[in-house]
Amino acid sequence: MVELAALILPLLASSHAWSVEIQFTGNPPLPVANLVRNPGIESGLGATPEGWSFATATPDNFETGWRDDGRSGKCLWLKAKTGAMSGYWGQVVPVAPGKSYLFKGYYRLGGGKILCYAHSSVALPDGRKAGIDERFYRGTMRGHWLVPVFLSPDSLGGPDPQQWYPFRLVARIPDPMQAVALSLGMYFTAGDSAFDDLWAGEAETELALTVKAAEGETLRRVVVTQVGSAKPVLDSQPLAAGSGAYEAKLEHQPTDAVHEVAVTLGNGEIVKARYPDVQEAK
Ligand SMILES: [Ca+2]
């Protein structure tokens, strides 16, 4: 049974007693756990980062490293000498069937084409198979053998080789799947790439919102948005005159979003609260 984390905010209106009580909770509660071991690639012994291994059919085609020039501290790195074969850093993540999971992280691409994918296959009782295979590709012409002859450096496009960029995958886990492999590597091109700050966990939460006006106050409207997006995920529209309470449930909300509720009181005052209660980066 999942425990509900209550976030109860009796908010003060000017110098009076609180004017509205807002309860904003999630099932599962936020933030949800990161299921990736050693997600920042910081721990390990010798030349090997704990929890991660490199796999390819042709090891001679690759150089790999546990390097210091990460997005945070250290990172996973690999170089494919030719496009003859793919190769991936990876680890297996535990999952529960029937839920959606989010797999995300950051990559830096020096050249060639990366593939980040979440994949697994299980046998069903009737002999058929159930699987998932969610993929994120990103490529660049930088470093390609045609480049010096036919293309000017300005026309290369693709990601800046010095920058870290996010990737994001979501997969619904079929029964009876218990584990998913997260693989990060080069996809049949020569080039190099790095990966850092990986995250895997439940993708969705159900939010429950309860708003209660204090004695003598009324509610006019309740709007919920995700921070960073202007489009409401919930809008009560004008409530009936004299409304003192409002309740709503929001299913299938992303676990990596911050939700903000804006409550307009009868006197026009707007009171806001966030779940989870985090401060915006300045
Ligand atoms: Ca790191």
CA 61 – ligand 1 centroid, Å:
25
Are both 196 and 215 inside the same structural domain?
Answer: no
Q: Which two tokens stand for residue 3?
A: 């425990």
**Cβ–Cβ under 8 Å, residues 193 and 109:** yes
CA 185 – ligand 1 centroid, Å:
16
Does 62 reside within a domain? yes
Q: Which residues place a Cβ less than 5 A from the ion ligand 1?
A: 40-41, 70, 72-74, 196
Tell me the sheet residues that pair with 249: 208
| Cα torsion through 274, 96, 181, 175, rounded to 10 | -130
Total structural domains in the chain? 2
Does 281 reside within a domain? no
User: Residue 256, exposed/middle/buried by CB under 10 A (0-12, 13-18, 19+)?
Assistant: middle
Kindly report the pTM of this predicted structure. 0.85
Report the C-alpha gap between 224 and 271 in whole angstroms: 12
What is the model's pLDDT at position 89?
Answer: 98
Grouped pLDDT means (10 residues each) for the chain, 282 residues: 44 59 96 98 92 97 97 98 97 97 97 96 94 94 56 63 95 96 97 97 98 96 96 97 97 96 96 84 47
Whole domain around residue 196: which residue ranges? 44-202
Q: How far is CA 211 from CA 7, 96, 161, 166, 279, in A?
A: 12, 33, 48, 36, 22
Q: Of 162, 182, 202, at which residue does a domain stop?
A: 202
What is the model's pLDDT at position 201?
Answer: 98
What is the model's pLDDT at position 12?
Answer: 42
CATH number at residue 90: 2.60.120.260
